Every structure is written in structure tokens, then in C-alpha cells.
């Protein structure tokens, strides 16, 4: 059975009662991301009543919707006006065998995709929200402009908090026009380190590219015989050829061969990369590592040297994001991977593994003591009884 409040006042009453009893609650929108994060404890608290778009002004590039509004509904509405969520949020369905979920779930997990390198992360597009905190207080933060009376940008705290701070009831997002056309330049035949170096070079060019991914030979969805560096160009069709030619001239001295995907093929490729298709269908434990782009290839070199080579991998953000899938092991390779990632100054997140493994080894990179203490203070300011999504981010609360 789930608790099913019908409005914010009822939701606040339920949370206050749970806080008084120190009874944990598990927040549920469409429940598509239950396998992301550490297994949380508590009675299910449904947010299904908080659904529907309440404000959409295409001319002002702003949209407000209930947190349980299906992502598909919002994307269809934006598509009709040739607009989009520019942070290109991943659809976790392929990873977890679930649906696309709700807009509140996207905010709670901080989901951002390939275009983040140009357009920014989800938190940069979250203009405001309404929520009920773990204290049972109804809070409104921000709105149609980035402003906060407290002096703190609470949107930055809520995005990616996995519901551990508050139960979102409404979110306001900045939306942007879709590019009228796009194409993707492929450079093939270089080794991984050289391909990533080419992507970093392209990211510094004036061509204004919006995606930089590297697929090892044989990777889905291209399944080519050679490594592929993919660079996405978006904008007016009249400018694409000249920008592509600029990149070819810049990268040709590095070697390899070039080809171009047209708009339809380009959109299909980046949709699959957004959803991590090259690793999502591989059977095994799945990790996502963020680190300096210059260390992307080094990460794989060190894993091979440690005898922990993945069964599938690919790179995004010009090497700053590495997706890795390993054969299942007792610790999902957490010991060796986190040691190497820490040495390289990065962070590793375990996206997919058995519940027992995610609970035991943890999902997120352990925080330094000072940052962990700050996180605890933030948690306790929102949820002093630790009832919301207890254990979702860390074992302590």
C-alpha cells in the first residue's frame, strides 16, 4: 500500500506525522528510477496527484509542471512548438528496463546528457520549484527568474538530491528552441587516445559543436570496424557545411578518415548516445565516471593495467564522461575502479548492479570529510529526522 496525498497540505501532514514517528518514506512518481541509487527504506509515498502542465509560455521560454508529469507529455508539448529541454536528459529506461519517468524524477536525479557540455546541466535550467520538506513545510523557491530571497540557490541543492531533501510537487524549467538542423562529423581510424585528443581540439574550435563522443570499434549503435570520434553540429542548415569543413581542416593532420551523418542519422545517433545504448544492453555492472577530459583515456589504460578491463565502454563530453560495463563481480569492481578514479581526480557512480551490491559498496564516490559534513548539515536543515529516502545517497542518512 502507498500513501497517496491529493494536495500539498495533505502531503505536508503525512510528512509531519512520519517525522514525529521517525518513520522513513520512499517517494514515488512513476517508480522508474527505483534501481538508481542505494536501495532506500520506508513506506511508499505517491506523488501521482501532482501532475500536469500548469504554465507554458513558448515566447518566454518557460514551463511549469507538476513533478509527476510524465516526461513524454512535456516533450510532446515542447516538440509542437519546436522547443526542447536543452540539457538533453537521459532516458533511464534502457538501463533499468523501465519507462521514461516523470519530470520530477529527472530533477531529482539531475539527469543531463551529451549537450550538457554546451548548454549546461539540468540544475542550470531549473528556475524554481515547490516542495514539502522533511519537516513538513511547504516551500516555494525561485520561479520564472533565478532569484532567491534567502540568498541561496536552492535549485542547485534540490537537483540531483534524489528526494532526500524534499518531496517535489512542482518544477519550473527554462526551455530553448530546437536547432533547425544538425549533422555529425565522424573521424574514424585513430586509436582511443588520439580520438579523444581530436575531440578536445574540436571542442576548442569556433565551430560551436554541441556533442563530442568517442565510440570504440564495434560499439553500438554504429558497430563500425574502427574507432569513431563523433562531433555534433546544430543550427541553421546553411552554416553546417562551412562549420564541418572548418573541423575537417583542423583535424585532418591527425589522420583518419571522415564522413558526415545527415540530420536524421545524426539525431538517431545522439538519442542513442544520450541513453547510453553502447553499454546499456551489455549484461553487467554499469558505471558512469566523470573526470577531466584529458584523463579519459588514462582511466581505461589504468583499468587494463589493473586487470579490470570493462566488457563495454564509450566516452562522452570529449572524454570527461566515461561509461563502463563490467562482468558482474562481488563488489561490481568498486574497489579497483574507485581507487583509480580517485587518483585521477574524478568521481565514479554505480548506476546498475544488484540491490545488495549497491547497498554494500555504495553508489556514489565517497566524499571528503569536510564535504560529507556539509552534506549532513544540508540534509538536517531540510529533513532533521532523516525520513525522506533514508539511505538513498549514503548509509548514514
Mean pLDDT (the chain, rounded): 93
pLDDT digits (tens, 9 = 90+) for 85-135: 999 999 988 788 777 799 999 999 998 999 999 999 999 999 999 999 999
Taking residues 287-302, report their average pLDDT.
Answer: 98
**Nearest Cα residue to 259 out of 317, 195, 184:** 184
Q: Which pLDDT value is given to residue 143?
A: 59
Q: Which pLDDT value is given to residue 263?
A: 97
Taking residues 343-362, report their average pLDDT.
Answer: 95
Sign of CA dihedral 111, 113, 118, 119: negative
> In Å, how far are 185, 200, 245, 267 from 242, measured between CA atoms?
12, 20, 5, 20
Give the contacts of 153 (CB within 8 A, at least 6 positions apart).
142, 146
pLDDT digits (tens, 9 = 90+) for 233-276: 999 999 999 999 999 999 999 999 999 999 999 999 999 999 99
pLDDT digits (tens, 9 = 90+) for 62-74: 999 999 999 999 9
Residue 248 CB: number of other CB atoms within 10 A? Answer: 13
Assess whether pLDDT exceeds 50 at residue 150. no
Q: Which pLDDT value is given to residue 152?
A: 53
Assess whether pLDDT exceeds 70 at residue 16. yes
Q: Which pLDDT value is given to residue 1?
A: 62
Q: How confident is residue 220, by pLDDT bands cut at 50, 70 and 90?
A: confident
Q: Which pLDDT value is given to residue 149?
A: 37
Taking residues 44-51, report their average pLDDT.
Answer: 96
* Core vs surface per residue 69-102: b (16+ CB within 10 A) or e: bbbeebbebbeeeebbbbbbbbbbbbbbebbbbb
Q: What is the C-alpha end-to-end distance of the chain, expressed in Å?
A: 24
Q: Which pLDDT value is given to residue 40?
A: 86
Assess whether pLDDT exceeds 90 at residue 163. yes
Q: How confident is residue 146, by pLDDT bands cut at 50, 70 and 90?
A: very low
The domains located in the chain, with CATH, are: 8-177 (3.30.465.10), 181-274 (3.30.70.260), 277-361 (3.30.70)
Please give the grid coordinates belonging to residue 49: 496527484
**Nearest Cα residue to 293 out of 212, 187, 366, 210:** 212
Q: Which pLDDT value is given to residue 93?
A: 81
Assess whether pLDDT exceeds 50 at residue 363. yes
Please give the grid coordinates belonging to residue 10: 495533505
Give the contacts of 127 (CB within 8 A, at least 6 positions apart).
62, 142, 143, 144, 145, 146, 155, 172, 173, 174
Taking residues 129-152, report their average pLDDT.
Answer: 73
Asked if 175 and 87 count as a contact pair (C-beta separation under 8 A), the reply is no
Strands 43-46 and 25-28: parallel
Q: Which pLDDT value is given to residue 99?
A: 76
Amino acid at each position: 500500500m502507498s500513501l497517496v496525498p491529493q494536495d500539498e497540505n495533505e502531503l505536508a501532514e503525512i510528512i509531519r506525522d512520519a517525522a514525529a514517528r521517525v518513520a522513513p518514506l520512499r517517494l514515488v512518481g512513476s517508480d522508474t528510477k527505483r534501481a538508481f541509487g542505494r536501495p532506500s527504506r520506508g513506506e511508499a509515498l505517491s506523488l501521482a496527484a501532482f501532475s500536469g502542465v500548469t504554465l507554458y509560455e513558448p515566447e518566454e521560454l518557460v514551463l511549469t509542471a507538476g513533478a509527476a508529469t510524465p516526461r513524454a507529455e512535456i516533450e510532446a508539448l515542447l516538440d509542437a512548438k519546436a522547443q526542447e529541454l536543452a540539457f538533453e536528459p537521459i532516458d533511464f529506461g534502457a538501463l533499468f528496463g523501465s519507462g521514461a519517468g516523470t519530470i520530477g524524477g529527472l530533477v531529482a536525479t539531475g539527469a543531463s546528457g551529451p549537450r550538457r557540455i554546451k548548454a549546461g546541466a539540468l540544475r542550470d535550467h531549473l528556475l524554481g520549484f515547490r516542495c514539502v520538506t522533511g519537516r513538513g513545510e511547504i516551500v516555494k523557491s525561485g520561479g520564472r527568474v533565478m532569484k532567491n530571497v534567502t540568498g541561496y540557490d536552492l535549485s542547485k541543492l534540490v537537483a540531483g538530491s534524489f528526494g532526500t531533501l524534499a518531496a517535489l510537487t512542482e518544477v519550473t524549467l527554462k526551455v530553448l528552441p530546437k536547432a533547425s538542423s544538425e549533422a555529425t562529423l565522424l573521424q574514424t581510424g585513430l586509436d582511443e587516445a588520439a580520438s579523444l585528443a581530436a575531440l578536445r581540439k574540436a571542442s576548442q574550435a569556433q565551430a560551436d559543436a554541441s556533442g563530442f563522443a568517442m565510440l570504440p570499434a564495434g560499439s553500438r549503435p554504429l558497430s563500425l570496424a574502427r574507432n569513431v570520434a563523433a562531433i555534433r553540429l546544430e543550427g541553421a542548415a546553411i552554416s553546417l557545411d562551412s562549420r564541418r569543413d572548418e573541423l575537417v581542416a583542423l583535424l585532418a593532420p591527425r589522420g583518419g578518415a571522415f564522413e558526415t551523418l545527415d540530420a536524421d542519422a545524426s539525431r538517431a545517433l545522439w538519442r542513442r548516445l544520450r541513453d547510453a545504448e553502447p553499454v546499456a544492453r551489455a549484461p553487467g555492472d554499469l558505471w558512469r565516471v566523470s573526470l577531466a577530459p584529458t584523463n579519459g583515456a588514462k582511466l581505461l589504460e589504468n583499468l587494463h593495467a589493473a586487470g579490470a578491463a570493462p566488457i563495454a565502454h564509450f566516452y562522452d563530453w570529449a572524454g570527461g564522461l566515461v561509461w563502463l560495463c563490467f562482468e558482474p563481480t562481488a563488489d561490481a569492481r568498486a574497489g579497483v575502479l574507485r581507487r583509480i578514479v580517485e587518483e585521477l581526480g574524478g568521481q565514479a557512480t554505480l548506476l546498475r548492479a544488484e540491490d545488495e551490491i549497491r547497498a554494500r559498496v555504495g553508489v556514489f564516490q565517497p566524499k571528503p570529510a569536510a564535504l560529507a559534513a556539509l552534506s549532513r548539515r544540508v540534509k538536517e536543515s531540510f529533513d532533521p529526522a532523516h525520513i525522506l529516502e533514508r539511505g538513498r545517497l549514503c548509509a548514514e542518512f
